[in-house]
Amino acid sequence: MTSRTTPMMGSLGSDGCDLYHEEVGEGVPILLIHPAGSTASTWGSAIEELARIGRVITYDRRGYARSGGEPVGSTATHTADAAAILEFLRSPSAVVVGTSAGAAIAVDLAVRRPDLVRVVIAHEFPWRFTRHLPTGSQIKALVRIGSLALRGRHGDAAEVLLRSAYTYRDGGSTWDAFPEEWRQVAREDARAALADFRNSIVTYPSAADLATVKVPVLCSYGARSPNSMVALVRSLASAIPTARTHRIEGAGHAAPFDATANFVQLIADTITSADSDSPQSCASAVDRPVAEAARS
């Protein structure tokens, strides 16, 4: 068992890549899967807070920072890596938490390896983004991203992508509030960030796959996130029979940064209720808009 306060670091070979990982705390395993343009080191104070309630496991995903390797073209590869981490650290029945592209991996882990998952908390997985009409600002950002990437300016393209992704409903972007070292991480791993975006906005996992999920899934969204993102989250939840939704007050797309206390409290509350919640009770707790979407 790990020390409550001293992080333990290591690496794990997984399909040709050495996955860097850290763990701290004791108790129920909490696997944090980072979003595009991030690493194990960009969860901020959320790790320290979560380590008071469980054994927090973080890692640099394939293509990022200390894990290295080439960016991958499928979420499935990242899912296999997440499963390898949990198996290596002997952490079955983990609380799996992901944001954005990390949420896509967390949900896919519930599909492919439910034996490793106690409950999933998926914050703003942009499932089927490509099937929704983008807003004018999103179209401008997508055109700009494509143009920069074609010219080999991947760092600039990733910055445009992430500034757009972290836009608040009421204006501004979390990107501009991030510490400079976090923004530099995103620029350095720009190709991996762009690959994450492509992987997470399509129809994987499929609706048929999501319909097989039996572990509880909480699909969260930020109170400050654009309405378009809220619609994506509700669409995802309507496809998962065990899903319910939750609005995180004070948060946008970067919930662990925007509203750390509320994000940590959500995880703590989910751990407390996971044992008592059955798939049936989770399904009945879905927001009314989700239930209506499922019937339509």
> What pLDDT does residue 92 have?
79
| Strand duo 17-24 + 55-59: pairing | antiparallel
Distance of alpha carbon 162 from alpha carbon 61, whole angstroms: 17
pLDDT at 280 over 80: no
- Model-wide pTM > 0.85: yes
Beta-carbon count within 10 A of 224 CB: 22
Tens-place pLDDT, residues 118-176: 999 999 999 999 888 788 888 999 999 999 999 999 999 999 999 999 999 999 999 99
Distance of alpha carbon 100 from alpha carbon 34, whole angstroms: 8
| Strand duo 29-33 + 217-222: pairing | unpaired
Tell me which of 94-98, 216-220, 280-284 is least confident.
280-284
User: CA torsion angle for 163, 166, 168, 173 (degrees, to 10)?
Assistant: -40
Distance of alpha carbon 159 from alpha carbon 85, whole angstroms: 29
Q: Do residues 61 and 195 lie in contact, with contact meaning Cβ atoms separated by under 8 Å?
A: no
Tell me the CA distances in angstroms from 265 to 25, 121, 190, one per residue in order.
16, 12, 31
